Amino acid sequence: MKVLITGGCGFIGSHVVDAYADKGYEVVIVDNLSTGKLKNKNRNARLYKIDITDDSLKDVFEKERPDIVNHHAAQISVPYSVENPLFDAKVNIEGTIRLLELSRIYGIKKFIFASTGGAIYGETDMIPTSEQCVPEPRSPYAISKLACEKYILFYSYHYGLEFIILRYSNVYGPRQIPHGEAGVVAIFTEKLLSKEHPVLYHYPEEKNGMIRDYVYVRDVARANILASESEKRGIFNISTGIGTDTLKLYKKITKTLKESGVEVDEEFEEPKRAFARPGDLRVSILDPTKAEQELFWRAEYDIDKGIRETLKWYLYGKN
């Protein structure tokens, strides 16, 4: 079975590539290396350094004839999408439509899409939020992801394309870059290791910061394998269903660093504080029940184990 994965040199995509390669899939990557890194590339995968908005994408389909398309390439920054909505739409919407058209033309068996549960639902009273909640995206990034989902549904209804959409909560783990959709673990860790004082954003009345559902990247990679091998179609939250506030997360990181022998400045025991930026959701916790019941996927890493694994990577080996 051959899979073409876009964004396979990025943070999540590279773990998905590793998981496919470990399972014996033949893996082809399309990545323009705008945020992805060559050192993330699995040595058994073939890389085409191509932009997903470029016409030459067709040549890759023509040459490789993949069975599955797994689409992770994207403009991933929410603030950048606010400043540059046209660029965001070009990469995220136009890029996805191109992939869907090529999937139609080349008879792709299944299309898997990395969507966002962290951003797409907006502020909602349904906590934890299930897939039943009607999305109320509040940023161009979340709007573009929802538009992609709708295009995928169109290709499914109209052309019978098999698909699975995975709405990730806040993904963290080795190889994460600090400026993505949900980079707070990477931001805190990198700042603390370079002896800078991290900032915690909070609403005036909620001093512990925003509450998020942190899911470890290897669990996310496994969800992609199960999605590839499942007979189901549909939209699935990939999350833990458990919320952690930013202060608690900060304390877990400083504690784990100290346990690993890293000196943390006394002044850094508490983070610096700043008011939340417009658009920062107060709470985002996603209900993973549907993925548990239909994909037989459940997060195996709790936040403590996930942070230990992530910090090991920062401290002992960045591969």
Q: Of the two residues 96 and 254, which places its CB atom closer to ligand NAD in the complex?
A: 96
Distinct helix (H) and strand (E) counts, the chain = 12, 14
Applying CB under 6 A, which of residues 5, 27, 28, 52 lies at the interface with ligand NAD?
A: 52
| 218 binds ligand NAD per the rule CB under 6 A | no
Sign of the dihedral through C-alpha 254, 256, 259, 260: negative
Rounded to an integer, what distance in angstroms lies between the CA atom of residue 289 and that of residue 117? Answer: 14
Q: How many whole angstroms separate alpha carbon 20 and alpha carbon 8?
A: 11
Select the residue interacting with ligand NAD from 2, 22, 34, 293 (CB under 6 A): 34
The identity of residue 225, as a single letter, is: I
Q: What is the 3-state secondary structure (H, E, C) of 234-254?
A: EEEEECCCCCEEHHHHHHHHH
Here's the x/- map for ligand NAD, 112-151, by CB under 6 A: it reads as --x-x-x---------------------------------
| Binding of ligand NAD by 29 (CB under 6 A) | no
DSSP code of residue 136: -
From 3, 4, 5, 12, residue interacting with ligand NAD (rule: CB under 6 A): 12
Length of the chain: 319
Min. distance of Cβ 148 from ligand NAD in angstroms? 9
Site string for ligand NAD, 73-102 (x = CB under 6 A): xx-x--------------x---x-------
- Dist CA 30 CA 33 (whole Å): 9
Task: Assess 31 for contact with ligand NAD (CB under 6 A).
Answer: yes
Give the nearer residue to ligand NAD in terms of CB position, either 268 or 295: 295
**Tokens 């930013």, located at residue:** 246
Q: CA triplet 186, 15, 240: central angle to 5 degrees?
A: 65
Closest CB to ligand NAD among residues 34, 260:
34
List the interface residues with ligand NAD, window 178-217 (CB under 6 A): 180-182
Part in contact with ligand NAD (CB under 6 A); list of ranges 68-76, 98-106, 281-289, 306-314: 68-76
Contact status, residue 169 vs residue 237, Cβ threshold 8 Å: yes
Interface residue with ligand NAD among 4, 13, 70, 99 (CB under 6 A) is 13
- 141 as an active site residue: the answer is yes
Which is the catalytic residue, given 48, 141, 214, 216? 141
32 contacts ligand NAD (rule: CB under 6 A): yes
Helix pair 217-229, 11-22: axis angle to 10 deg: 50
Beta-carbon contacts of residue 214 (< 8 Å; ≥ 6 apart): 169, 170, 171, 172, 185, 240, 244, 249, 303, 306
Closest CB to ligand NAD among residues 4, 108? 4
Indicate the Cα dihedral angle 101, 141, 36, 49, nearest 10°.
30
Nearer to ligand NAD, 31 or 245 (CB): 31
b (16+ CB within 10 A) / e for 257-283: beeeeeeeeeebeebeeeebeeeebeb
Interface region with ligand NAD, contact rule CB under 6 A, candidates 24-32, 185-193, 227-235, 244-252: 24-32
Q: Which stretch binds ligand NAD (CB under 6 A): 50-58, 79-87, 225-233, 272-280?
A: 50-58
Residues forming contacts to ligand NAD in the complex (CB under 6 A) are 6-7, 9-13, 30-36, 51-53, 72-74, 76, 91, 95, 114, 116, 118, 168, 170-171, 177, 180-182
Catalytic residues: 141
